[in-house]
C-alpha cells in the first residue's frame, strides 16, 4: 500500500474541500461556456459549440489556477494559436496521421515562441487537423470563432469563480520581497540562507518547464526553511513570549490621552479594543505623525500640540479620537502561533507590533520586535552547549 501511495502525484494530497471546489468550478464554467457559446455562435458553427479540449483547460483553470500553464494568455493564446496551426496544416497539407502529428509539433513550437504554452492546445491542433468533415469545412473559423469564444468564456468563468472562492486568479508574478523602507537593501530574511538568486541559478540548470510560478516556488522554499527551523529548534509560541500587561485604547479614546499613555509607558503602539476586548485596530506613533502633517522638523512640537488639543469641531473636520487615525483590522497572531511565523512579517513587511488573541479571538497580549529578538537569542543560546 505504501508503494502504491508513493506513486501518486502530489495533487492527491489536496483536501476534500479543494477537490470539491475544483469540481464545482469546472462544471459551472463548462455549463455556462456551452450554453453561451451555443447561443452566440452562428448557425453553421453550432455543430461543435463546445470544443472537446475545453475539458482539459478546465482541469488547469480550476485544479491548478496558479500554474503558468493556466493563465489567461496561455489558455486563450495557446488554444487559438494551436487551432490556427492545425487548420493551416489540414488545408495546405491534407489529412492523415502524419499531418496531424506535424500540426501538434508545430503548435507546440508556436506556443513556446509566443510564451503561451497550454497542454490542451495540442488537442486543439489535433482536432482542427483531423476533427471530421464539419470541422475541416469550417477551416479557420473553428479556431478564430469557436475556440476563441470557448477559451475566453472559460477564462472569464475562472476569474469569477476562483476569486469568489478565495484563490488569486490570474496569478500575477509577485514582486520579490520589496523593502518596506524603500531602499535598495534586500529584506532581512534574504540576507542569509536561501536567496532568490540561488533559485534563479538552479532553474537555469534545471532547463525544464515547471508547472508552478517562480514566486510560488520561492515561497514554498521559504516555508520549508521555516518548517525545518521549527523541527530543529523546537516550537516557541506567541503565548510564551508576549507581553500580557499591555496599555490599550478604545475607539473613542481622545488622542491626547492615547499619546500621553504611550509616552508614560514608553511604548510605540496601542492595540485598540472594543468592549468585548477584541482587536479592532492598532494606533502607533507613526499614525500621530502622519495625520498631524509633520513632514519636516520645523515647528513639529507646536503642530503636534495643536493636533492633540481638542478643537470642539465635528469629527469630520478634525481627528480627535483614536478610532479616526488607527489602522483598522491589523495583522494579529494567536497564542498558539509559532514565533518563527512572525519573522518575515516583522523583518520584511515592516510590522513592529503584532497583537495576540486567544481561542475566543479576545485580546491576550502583544509581541514586539524586541520580544522576538530576545526569544530567538535565548533559544539559540540554550542550544549552544549541545552544539
Q: What is the pLDDT of residues 225-234, one digit of tens each?
A: 777 766 665 6
Same-domain check for residues 192 and 256: no
pLDDT value at position 181? Answer: 54
pLDDT digits (tens, 9 = 90+) for 269-301: 999 999 999 999 999 988 887 766 555 555 556
Q: How many angstroms separate the CA atoms of 25 and 118, rounded?
A: 19
Same-domain check for residues 373 and 333: yes
- Picking from 229, 249, 275, the residue at the C-terminal end of a domain is 229
End-to-end C-alpha distance for the chain, whole angstroms: 40
Same-domain check for residues 150 and 187: no
> Which long-range contacts link 174-180 to residues 24+ away (Cβ below 8 Å)?
174/215, 176/215, 176/218, 177/348, 180/348, 180/349, 180/350
Q: How many structural domains are present in the chain?
A: 3
Confirm whether 29 is domain-assigned: yes
Containing structural domain, residue 183: 173-229
Same-domain check for residues 303 and 362: yes
Lowest mean pLDDT among 6-15, 66-75, 222-231, 272-281: 6-15
What is the average per-residue pLDDT within 253-281?
93
pLDDT digits (tens, 9 = 90+) for 169-181: 998 765 555 655 5
Give the confidence band of 51 by pLDDT, cuts at 50, 70, 90.
Answer: very high
Same-domain check for residues 192 and 301: no
Confirm whether 1 is domain-assigned: no
The three-class DSSP label of residue 131 is coil
Q: How many angstroms separate the CA atoms of 279 and 249, rounded?
A: 10
pLDDT value at position 161? Answer: 95
What is the average per-residue pLDDT within 204-216?
72
Instruction: Say whether pTM exceeds 0.75.
Output: no
Q: What are phi and psi of 363, to 5 degrees?
A: -60, 130
- Picking from 123, 141, 164, the residue at the C-terminal end of a domain is 164
Same-domain check for residues 274 and 201: no
What is the average per-residue pLDDT within 199-224?
73
Amino acid at each position: 500500500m505504501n508503494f502504491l501511495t508513493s506513486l501518486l502525484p502530489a495533487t492527491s494530497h489536496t483536501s476534500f474541500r479543494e477537490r470539491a471546489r475544483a469540481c464545482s468550478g469546472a462544471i459551472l464554467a463548462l455549463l455556462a461556456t456551452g450554453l453561451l457559446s451555443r447561443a452566440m455562435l452562428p448557425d453553421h458553427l453550432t455543430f461543435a459549440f463546445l470544443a472537446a479540449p475545453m475539458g482539459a483547460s478546465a482541469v488547469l483553470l480550476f485544479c491548478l489556477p496558479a500554474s503558468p500553464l493556466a493563465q489567461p494568455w496561455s489558455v486563450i493564446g495557446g488554444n487559438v494559436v494551436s487551432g490556427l496551426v492545425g487548420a493551416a496544416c489540414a488545408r495546405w497539407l491534407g489529412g492523415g496521421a502524419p499531418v496531424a502529428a506535424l500540426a501538434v509539433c508545430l503548435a507546440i513550437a508556436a506556443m513556446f515562441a509566443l510564451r503561451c504554452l497550454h497542454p490542451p492546445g495540442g488537442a486543439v491542433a489535433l482536432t482542427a487537423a483531423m476533427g471530421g468533415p464539419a470541422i475541416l469545412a469550417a477551416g479557420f473559423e473553428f479556431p478564430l470563432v469557436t475556440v476563441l469564444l470557448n477559451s475566453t468564456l472559460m477564462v472569464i468563468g475562472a476569474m469569477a469563480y476562483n476569486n469568489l472562492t478565495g484563490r488569486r486568479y490570474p496569478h500575477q508574478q509577485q514582486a520579490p520581497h520589496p523593502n518596506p523602507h524603500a531602499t535598495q537593501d534586500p529584506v532581512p530574511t534574504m540576507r542569509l540562507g536561501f536567496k532568490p538568486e540561488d533559485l534563479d541559478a538552479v532553474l537555469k540548470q534545471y532547463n525544464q518547464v515547471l508547472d508552478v510560478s517562480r514566486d510560488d516556488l520561492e515561497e514554498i522554499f521559504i516555508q520549508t526553511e521555516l518548517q525545518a527551523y521549527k523541527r530543529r529548534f523546537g516550537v516557541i509560541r506567541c503565548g510564551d513570549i508576549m507581553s500580557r500587561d499591555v496599555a490599550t485604547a478604545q475607539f473613542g479614546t481622545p488622542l491626547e490621552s492615547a499619546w500621553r499613555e504611550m509616552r508614560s509607558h514608553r511604548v510605540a503602539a496601542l492595540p485598540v479594543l472594543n468592549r468585548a476586548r477584541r482587536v479592532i485596530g492598532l494606533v502607533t506613533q507613526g499614525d500621530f505623525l502622519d495625520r498631524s502633517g509633520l513632514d519636516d522638523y520645523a515647528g513639529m512640537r507646536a503642530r503636534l500640540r495643536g493636533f492633540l488639543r481638542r478643537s470642539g469641531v465635528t469629527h469630520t473636520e478634525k481627528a480627535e479620537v483614536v478610532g479616526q487615525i488607527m489602522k483598522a483590522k491589523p495583522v494579529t497572531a494567536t497564542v498558539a502561533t509559532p514565533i518563527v511565523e512572525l519573522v518575515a512579517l516583522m523583518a520584511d513587511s515592516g510590522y513592529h507590533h503584532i497583537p495576540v488573541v486567544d481561542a475566543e479571538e479576545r485580546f491576550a497580549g502583544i509581541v514586539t520586535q524586541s520580544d522576538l529578538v530576545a526569544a530567538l537569542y535565548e533559544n539559540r543560546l540554550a542550544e549552544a552547549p549541545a552544539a
